[in-house]
Each structure stands twice: as C-alpha cells, then as structure tokens.
Amino acid sequence: MTGTGQLLVCHGLTRQFGGVVALSELDLEVRRGELLGLIGPNGSGKTTFFNVLTGLFPPTRGQIVFDGARLAGATPQEVHRAGITRTFQRSRLCLELSIFDNLAIGAHQRLDHGLWFNLLRRDSLADQADTTAAAAQELLQIFDPPLARRLYEPMTGVAMIDRRRVEICRALMSHPRLLLLDEPSAGMTADETNRLMDDILEVRRRFGDLTIVLIEHEMSVIQRVTERCVVLNYGKKLCEGTFAEVAANPEVRRAYLGLT
C-alpha cells in the first residue's frame, strides 16, 4: 500500500454531541478506486461519519485529508468542490421539481450561474441545458431506461425506488471522485437491491476513477460488491478487512448478533 494509493485519510476523527460521542478517534482510509463497505449496527456512527466528512457537522477533533488537501472544518460546499458527493439515507430530492432540475442541482458546479449568461445569452444557456439533459439521460439510461423518457416530469410522480436511483444519478452528475452512498437500497426488495448494485458497478466501470464508500445493512450485498469493509460500533472502528475476514471476527459477531 503506497501513499498515492490513498484517496482519503481520516485520523483521530471525533465528533461529540454534548456528552454523546458519536464518532470516536476514528482512523480510516479509503484507497483510490476501491468500493469500501461501511457497516455496523444502528447508531454506530456510519451516517455521522458521512456528515462529518461532508462538512455538515465539523469534527470536534481529528484530521481529514482528501487527495492531499485538509478538509476538517471545511464547509459542505468546499468538500463538494474537492470532489466528494453523497446521497442521503432519507431521500433529499426536491420533490416539487422535475427529474431534470434535480439532476441539474447535481451538476451545479459545472453550470454557468452568471447573471449576464443566464438572462441575456439564452442561446448559450439552451446549449448548456441540452448538454446537461444529455448527460442526465445517459445516467438514467444505466439505472432505469424508462426514467430517461420522463426527464421533465415532476419528482412527485416518481416511485420510491426510482427516487433512490435519481438521487444516485444526481450525485453522479457532479462527476465526483469519491461517492458516499448512505444505504441506497433501504426499502428495496432483494431483487431491486441486486439490480441497483449491478448498476452501481456498471457506473464504476464507465467512470474509470470513481471511488465509493457504501453504507449497507444487507450482508450479502456487502459480500458481493465491496472489496474491503470497515466495521463501526459505538463510533469506534471495530475492525477492517475483506468481508470474509470481517465476518469471521468474533467482536463483529458479538456486536451484530449480541453473542457473548
């Protein structure tokens, strides 16, 4: 494992809410191009880790280094600009808006927001809208082809499962280098989960240098798609390794199954 192999390095990451330590002295690294599974019981700090990483809750202590740049204490906007994008456990799409609008929000960083451009150069704006629509449709084609034909329909009419897909597409619209997926399969059947994971793997094949951290409860999914997992419990790292290594760890079995 070389230094250039690490995309993200967290050191001693701690986040306290009053007396509650949601994340405690977490050392965690994500290697370039890998699909890392983040698992652990409810309340073990997985989502908190995403929230701290993306700047929503600045860490109480600790370092975050992303591709050589320090990100601890950065605003969510700065974290996004550095190349980290996420989805949310509870869908945070703008339901009033169309699928296209939601995906355009994902592409925000690449769009021209100048007043002059938007108000007066309407032809160039239309061109940029066309390019964005094409990119959006390309992504939707991977996840659910019928959705691509409904690009300008409001989000309210889109089924729950498709909303999750749109949310992942919105994150991908920004061309992230690190994609954080927070339980993308929540509420899906086993078949739907499998299809979603296939689609995610397909995206990773197409976007060469995409690194993914996946929070997931379904162990068969973790086993199938991740190269490495990190197990959290009570905000601390319990262990890490391949799924087989992790699954064999007695401490993990105790945390998950309550065995003593």
Partner 1 sequence: MTAARAGTRALSAAALAAVAGLLLYGFLATESEKTVGLMLLGAVIAVAGGIRSGVLPRLVAAAGAGAVLAGLGVAMVVLVGVFHDDPFVLLLMSRALLVLVACLGLHVQLADAGVPNFAGAAFFGIGGYTAAVLGRGDLPHPVVLLASGAVAAAVGSLLLLPLLRTRGHYAALITIAFGLLFRTFLEVNDTLGGPQGLKLAGLRVLGWSFNDDRQILGVDFSGYAFYCLAALALALLAVALVRRVERSWVGVALDAVRLDETASACFGISIGRWKIAAFTLGNALIGVAGGLSAMMVGFIAPNNFTFQESLVLVSILLLGGLGNLAGLAVAALIVIWLPEKLQPIQEFRYLLFSVLVVLVLVLRPTGLVRRTSRRPFGSVAA
Instruction: Give yes or no for residue 111 binding partner 1 (CB under 8 A).
Output: yes
User: What are the strands of the beta sheet with 6-17, ordered from one edge?
Assistant: 20-31, 6-17, 61-66, 69-70
The DSSP 8-state label assigned to residue 109 in this structure reads: G
Instruction: Give yes or no for residue 65 binding partner 1 (CB under 8 A).
Output: no
Site string for partner 1, 165-204 (x = CB under 8 A): -----x---x------------------------------
Q: Tokens 């974290």 correspond to what residue?
A: 79
Q: Which of residues 6, 60, 63, 118 is near partner 1 by CB under 8 A?
A: 118
Do 181 and 11 contact (CB within 8 A), yes or no?
Answer: no
Q: Which of residues 37, 59, 62, 106 is near partner 1 by CB under 8 A?
A: 106
Q: Which of residues 112, 209, 245, 251 is near partner 1 by CB under 8 A?
A: 112
CB of 75 to partner 1, least distance (A): 7
The count of chain residues that interact with partner 1, using the rule CB under 8 A, is 46
Work out whether strand 228-233 and strand 35-39 pair parallel, antiparallel, or are unpaired.
parallel
CA distance 228 to 223: 9
CB of 4 to partner 1, least distance (A): 26
Give the residue among 127, 56, 129, 122 at the shortest CA–CA distance from 98: 129
CA distance 146 to 157: 13
The binding site for partner 1 (CB under 8 A) comprises 54-56, 75-77, 79-81, 85-86, 88, 92-98, 100-101, 104-106, 108-109, 111-113, 115, 118-119, 122-123, 125-130, 132-133, 152, 154, 170, 174
